[in-house]
A and B are shown apart, each in its own frame.
Chain A
Amino acid sequence: MSTIDFLEDSLAHSAPESSAVGVDAVAVSAWFGSNKVLERVNLSMPPRTVTALIGPSGCGKSTFLRILNRMHESVPAAKMAGEVRLNGQDIYAPSVRITHMRKRIGMVFQKPNPFPAMSIAENVTAGLKLTGTKVSRSERSDIIEGCLRRGGLWNEVKDRLDEPGQALSGGQQQRLCIARSLAVNPDVLLMDEPCSALDPTSTRRIEETIAELAPDVTIVIVTHNMQQAARVSQQCAFFLAEQGSPGGIVEAGTTKQLFEDPHDSRTADYVNGRFG
């Protein structure tokens, strides 16, 4: 399959039944200016799996996540090396259209960021509008309901879809953002500490949402919360940046193995809360 085909074949809006799209990072390095922050990271994020990236602040895990959908390069002076393969295709290849690629790899940010000028319903369909995807009126309302259901928000907002998205609570806004990123039917969903600004109840709702999405979508989540990583992920990668050197993966494996039987003593120290 050519690159363009592979990027344009996902215009359908039903939930993907057999999307089996994994992401592979191969020898990924990153710089901000001359400061190297990631050193040759290799990580395979298999399809239908939740991969958690854990590690102390400043270890490069958020940078790594932002490399996976090319948000990294929007930062001035940010550079990268290596390859990120979506279904085997390098998303950094010159023939790739960045807008198509980002449609397939959605992202949820640390701070909920619904579009303030839009209603709840408009927020959900914002991605369709932005990517120029035409849908009929009935399809549109199906997508709104479907995505809000998958985002775990439908029951709370079904009677006020025309209210502004910013009128919602922080946790609801974050679930709205998840619903918004689902509307363009991505194969991969990147989450950058999605619960760090939320209260425990909202956090639990989002974790439930993640569990419900996992069979359809490959999820990569950055979290500072070790219990959260243990609860939501099947696979885990521990990032660490030693004093004065760029960050990298110390250990990656199944979440169970990383938490119960870490091979590296630094991993053991971190998951047991002895530092970080």
Chain B
Amino acid sequence: MTTAELDTPRELGQVYSTADKAFRRTTAGIGMTVLALTGAIGLFLGYQAIPTLRRYGLSFFTENQWLPQRDVVGLSSVLLGTVEVALVALVVGFPLALMTALYISEYAPRRLKSWFVGLIDLMAAVPSIIYGLWGFFFLQPQTIHVSRWLAQHFGWIPVFHVDTDPNAATWAQTKFTASAFIAGLAVSMMVIPLACAVMRSVFAQAPLGEREAALALGATRWGMIRTVVIPFGQGGIIGGTMLALGRALGETVAVLLIISPAFDIKVNILQVGTETTSALIAGLFGEASKAQLSALLTAGFVLFVLTLAVNTVAAVFVNRSRSGAATEI
């Protein structure tokens, strides 16, 4: 019986040329290397974390003090601080990034567009130590007045509460410095260009046909943006924001420069002192003993898992959306 007579699905194959085969294998190999490296980092950190996790168990996540000399080590206050700084960065950075992206893609005059894009990209190119210095020497002396104002008017909300009288004539300025809020502001400057670039590239791909349809119905430009550009760009908005969150969670140097370490469980972001995971590692790494090193690597492992999770969630959101195919994340 020939294949033509068999009414079953056929095995379909084809012959690849040698060059094609070689190219496939090379690219596949390189791709695998990248995956393997990421996996290796995770494995290494995970392996290093085993002794610490075995020793402290669940208390590693519930204990808030970090006193290896007294054999008390825990991440709860540090993780809280990490999340607080990242959230401040997002709350401040998200609207700025979204508005900037909309302005550049929809409103900016054509001639200025590439200038703005270049400037935003330049923001991303500034080393984070510069943002740290800027945050410490410039932003902080200005921001404590904003912090005080917030504490004066919204102090009844726990987040904005500060353990001092903000209305006092000689108010305790140092109570308002080195806070999660100020660190978050500096970090927001670093995540804005990242989020903005993703959002902008997605907005620019909103289909011309739908844009024209909205305009031809008599829509204002803002109406068109609301009906066409933003729904289309949803994936990019979420993806860019999550990407920014991932970056904010891991930001180290700028935070290290601004905050003064404190290991209390507290939500008052305006008050002096906080600690983030990456700043903890960077701050203590140099003088750590072997056991302390293992604890720090465990903290690193937790941070790794956290950022991986955030980025994975971002990727899922973006891939499900219509604009996702074109969004690089």
**Which chain A residues have a beta carbon within 8 Å of chain B's beta carbons?**
69, 71, 74, 76, 99-103, 106-107, 109, 111, 113-117, 126-127, 129-131, 177, 180-181, 184
Cβ–Cβ contact A127 & B218, under 8 A: yes
Q: CB-defined interface of B204-232 with A at 8 Å, one 1/0 digit per residue? A: 00010110111111111001100110011
Say yes or no: B220 contacts A109, CB within 8 Å: no
User: Measured between alpha carbons, how far is A177 from B223 in the docked complex, in Å?
Assistant: 18
Give Cα A115–Cα B213 distance, bound, in whole angstroms: 8
Q: Is the CB of A117 within 8 A of B215?
A: no
Tell me whether A115 and B212 are in contact (CB under 8 A): no
Q: Which residues of A contact B214 (CB under 8 A)?
A: 115, 126, 130
User: Across the two chains, which residue of chain A brings its CB closest to B220?
Assistant: A99
Query: Which of chain B's residues 168-224 have a Cβ closer than 8 Å to chain A?
Result: 207, 209-210, 212-220, 223-224
CB distance from B224 to the nearest CB of A (A): 8
- Complex Cα–Cα for A107 and B212 (A): 9
Q: Given the complex, which residues of A lie within 8 Å of B220, measured CB to CB?
A: 99, 130
**CA–CA, A118 to B220, complex, Å?**
19
Q: Which residues of B contact A114 (CB under 8 A)?
A: 213
The answer to whether B217 and A103 touch across the interface, beta carbons within 8 angstroms, is yes
10 contacts between A and B (CB under 8 A): A71-B212, A74-B215, A102-B216, A102-B217, A107-B216, A109-B216, A115-B228, A126-B227, A130-B224, A184-B217
Pairs of residues from A and B, 6 with the lowest C-beta to C-beta distance, nearest first:
A103-B218, A127-B217, A130-B219, A113-B209, A107-B216, A117-B231
Given the interface pairs A126-B227, A130-B223, the reply to whether A113 lies near B212 with Cβ below 8 Å is yes
Minimum distance in angstroms from B319 CB to a CB of chain A: 17
Q: Which residues of B contact A113 (CB under 8 A)?
A: 207, 209-210, 212-213
Binding site for A on B (CB under 8 A): 110, 207, 209-210, 212-220, 223-224, 227-228, 231-232, 322
Tell me which residues across on chain A come within 8 A of B231, comparing CB atoms.
115-117
Given A113-B207, A113-B210, A116-B322, are A71 and B216 neighbors across the interface (CB < 8 Å)? yes
C-alpha gap A137/B229 in the complex (Å): 27
Q: Tell me whether A131 and B217 are in contact (CB under 8 A).
A: yes
Residue on B nearest A133 in the bound complex, by CB: B218
Q: How far is the CB of B76 from chain A (nearest CB, A)?
A: 42
Having A130-B219, A131-B219, A180-B217, one finds 6 other A-B pairs with CB under 8 Å, namely A69-B216, A99-B220, A115-B210, A115-B231, A116-B210, A130-B214
For B216, give the chain A residue with the smallest CB separation: A107
A137 to B215, alpha carbons, bound, how many Å? 25
Query: Which residue on chain A has the smallest CB distance to residue B322?
Result: A116
- Minimum CB distance partner of B221 in chain A: A99
For the complex, give the distance between the alpha carbons of A130 and B214 in Å. Answer: 8
Binding site secondary structure of chain B: helix
Instruction: Tell me, in angstroms, the Cα distance from A106 to B219 when the chains sit together.
Output: 11
CB distance from A144 to the nearest CB of B (A): 15
Q: Measured between alpha carbons, how far is A168 from B302 in the docked complex, in Å?
A: 48
**Complexed CA–CA distance, A114 and B217 (Å):** 12
> Is the pair B218, A130 in contact by a Cβ cutoff of 8 Å?
yes
Q: Are A102 and B218 in contact (CB under 8 A)?
A: yes
CB pair B218 A71 closer than 8 Å: no
For the complex, give the distance between the alpha carbons of A111 and B110 in Å: 26
Whole-angstrom CA separation of A102 from B216 in the bound complex: 6
In the assembled complex, the CB of B172 is this many whole angstroms from the nearest CB of chain A, namely 51
Is B212 a contact partner of A106 (Cβ separation < 8 A)? Answer: no
**Contact A71 to B217, CB < 8 A, known contacts A109-B209, A115-B227, A117-B231:** no
Once A117-B231, A130-B223 are accepted as A-B contacts, the answer to whether A109 and B218 lie under 8 Å apart by CB is: no
* Docked pose: A138 CA to B232 CA in angstroms: 30
CA distance A117 to B215 in the complex (A): 17
> How long is the Cα–Cα vector from A184 to B215 in the complex, in angstroms?
13
Chain B's closest residue to A122 (CB) is: B227
CB distance from B242 to the nearest CB of A (A): 21
Quote the shortest CB–CB distance from B128 to chain A (angstroms).
Answer: 38
| A184:B218 contact, CB within 8 angstroms | yes
Query: What residues of B have a CB within 8 angstroms of the CB of A127 in the complex?
Result: 217-219
Bound CA span A117–B216, Å: 18
Q: Across the interface, which residues of A come within 8 angstroms of B216, CB to CB?
A: 69, 71, 102, 106-107, 109, 181
Known contacts A76-B110, A116-B322; is-contact A99 B210 (Cβ 8 Å): no
Bound-state Cα–Cα, A115 to B212, Å: 11
| The one of A101, A106, A111, A131 that contacts B209, using a Cβ cutoff of 8 Å | A111
Smallest Cβ distance from A197 to chain B, in angstroms? Answer: 11
Q: Which residues of B contact A69 (CB under 8 A)?
A: 216
Residue numbers in A under 8 Å from B110 (CB-CB): 76
For B228, the chain A residues whose CB sits under 8 A away are 115
Cβ contact of B215, chosen from A71, A76, A115, cutoff 8 A: A71
Which residues of chain B are within 8 angstroms of A99 by Cβ–Cβ distance?
218-220
- Given A115-B227, A115-B228, A117-B231, check contact A109 B219 (CB 8 Å): no
Alpha-carbon gap, A178 to B164, bound state (A): 65
A116→B228 CA distance, assembly (Å): 9
Chain B residue nearest in CB terms to A101:
B218
Interchain nearest-CB distance for B211 vs A (Å): 8
What residues of chain B lie closer than 8 Å to A117, measured between beta carbons? 231-232
* In contact, A109 and B227 (Cβ under 8 angstroms): no
- Name the one of B213, B215, B232 contacting A177, with C-beta atoms under 8 angstroms: B213
